[in-house]
Structure 1
């Protein structure tokens, strides 16, 4: 069992709002800051088009292990102020630092036992934040890349191609469109912009975030981190190369444990057979797979005693 309370904090001029889940029983408890993937996600990890619920499921699971967890709405989402499209990658790291300070100050939490748990972009956010120094006892990197954003997104484009619907693949062949090259050209267009927001392919994108993400290489920051790391990726991930687990392990400055979970996808659910993005909508009707939550809980529990 657990209780939840609203936790509001500031990051520069912005007011950010989240939920602190606290286990029953006497505290102070070990604490986890949950950092979500990319996109305008609310505190539960939901996008208006796809209710992923990753942060919510992790917070619930952690409470059963006696671990408190803070999750929050990103800028311009839910009860948080700001504008999502004008928020950069490094702004997200600043917001995470403010959230960690709020978690540290929470009376229910032991400031000597604070951990970062990030999914996808959140894994990079956790890496960049921990590299700044501060009270972090360990990191859990879920579906995190170990290479610069440009390399990661080009790998993603190549990996996604076989999973696209047959009519789309046929159209690409008929028009002689090289999907990876097209993605690279779009990246070049974004890197040439200077504003916070740009129009690419007929739609508005958060250009500053893309410029910073494409240029960010996590390896130097990993080398600055001496706290223990758990890096976990599913072998059905279409958006992050599972081989990056070895890159993370090779570059981290402290002890690293890596897990490559069978049949687990980027959204941390189980998907038998050939992986497909189209299956996400069905997958998210189920909670985060127990192989993920159990691995995270066991690792954190062992290091928070």
Structure 2
């Protein structure tokens, strides 16, 4: 069932003479998937970018309940001002919460892949865009890689996406922040890779490895970004920032090595939520700063790649 509600949000081009005004519509893909479609107000046919959010309860704007940074909202607005249509959607978690039917233990990584395919096919069937690009941020990078293999899209962009499997990423983050928990974490991850649910005794690890989240992690561990990106037969852009605390540049390099023909862009001082950062304190604060603009180089690189 398709519903579209025009929000009548207009952004005047008179303020920024070099930029294009656009409208924003709420689009309902199905009962679980809703998003914002940003459409430039120009007579010409446009390219479309589909943004896929990262891990956790992340909405169409790149926000979580207690961490609002508007990263994806600002990216969508900037691309629309550069005459690119953008669709960014709430993860199915929000649809399930609205239906009072969210059961974390029933979530699967495959559900999010199928959602991304469904969203892409929704717009492919319209046959109104010059090209369709899937752009996945963080966890959304791997989801987007796999969805791009199955949906009839034209290009793929990885933004702050891992090159290693998620167990290696978690190990990196734990070793960096709490090295004394690394050995226990590795033991837990080893069991999860075998498909086994683990009783986690250490309260310091129960948040990351809570039992209700383990089925999702088990399904996630089955996919290796290095393998999936090799399956793409389309132009690929790999982007990461030097100030990313969660996904280091080395992860982007792994993706590049697996996909030699991909365009590769490392952006100085850009962090995981796509903001320009000058120090560690600002980096941490940026996750909850809804007013800090996103990195300008990111917008330029994506715009150039999409329009090529």
User: Which stretches in structure 1 are left out of the alignment for 5+ residues?
Assistant: 162-176
2:141–2:158 Cα contact (<8 Å) kept: yes
Query: 2:291 aligns to what?
Result: 285
Partner of 2:14: none
* Aligned-partner Cα distance in 2 for 1:214–1:279: 30
Residue 262 of structure 1 is matched in structure 2 by 268
Instruction: Report runs of 4+ in structure 1 exceeding 6 Å deviation.
Output: none
Alpha-carbon distance change, 277 to 18 in structure 1, aligned in 2, over 3 angstroms: same
Offset at residue 201 of structure 1 (A): 1.7
Contact 1:155-1:241 at 8 Å conserved across structures:
no
CA 97–153 in structure 1, closer or farther in 2 if over 3 Å, else same: same
CA distance 1:145–1:19, change in 2 (3 Å): same
Shift of 1:265: 1.2
Partner residue in 1 for 2:115: 95
**Does 2:111 correspond to 1:131?**
no
TM-score (norm: length of structure 2): 0.81
Residue 61 (structure 1) shift:
1.0
Output the CA distance in 1 between the equivalents of 2:245 and 2:220.
18
Task: Indicate the residue corresponding to 2:189 in structure 1.
Answer: 187
In the other structure, the counterpart of 2:15 is none
Cα shift at 1:229:
1.0
**Which digits, 9 at most, give the CA deviation of each residue in 1:192-221, with x for residues without a partner?**
229xxxx97275642222112233211221
- Provide, for residues 278-304 of structure 1, a one-character-per-residue CA deviation record: whole Å limited to 9, x for no partner: 333455530222122222122222x2x
Alignment of 1:6-85 (within 5 A): 6-10=26-30, 14-77=31-94, 83=102, 85=104
Q: Distance in 2 between matches of 1:255 and 1:208?
A: 35
Partners of 2:53 and 2:292 lie apart in 1 by: 18
- Alignment length (residue pairs): 276
Question: What's the counterpart of residue 206 of structure 1?
Answer: 213
Shift of 1:277: 6.3
Greater shift, 40-49 or 213-222, is seen at: 213-222
Counterpart-to-counterpart distance in 2, 1:231 and 1:84:
33
1:153 to 164, 167, 170: 170
2:225 matches 1:218: yes
More strand by share: 1
Verify the 8 A CA contact 1:159 1:239 in the aligned structure 2.
Answer: no
Return the offset for 1:31.
Answer: 0.8
Which residue does the alignment assign to 1:171? none
After superposition, the Cα gap between the structure-2 partners of 1:212 and 1:52, relative to the gap in structure 1 and judged at 3 Å, is: farther
Change in Cα spacing, 1:256 to 1:89, as seen in structure 2 (3 Å) is: same
For residues 44 and 137 of structure 2, what CA distance do their matches in structure 1 show?
A: 27
Distance of 1:84 and 1:51 partners within structure 2:
24
Closer, same or farther: CA 265–118 of 1 in aligned 2, 3 Å: same
- Give per-residue Cα distances to partners, 1:158-198, cap 9 Å, x unaligned: 2334xxxxxxxxxxxxxxx722223324434654229xxxx
- 1:76 aligns to what SS in structure 2? helix
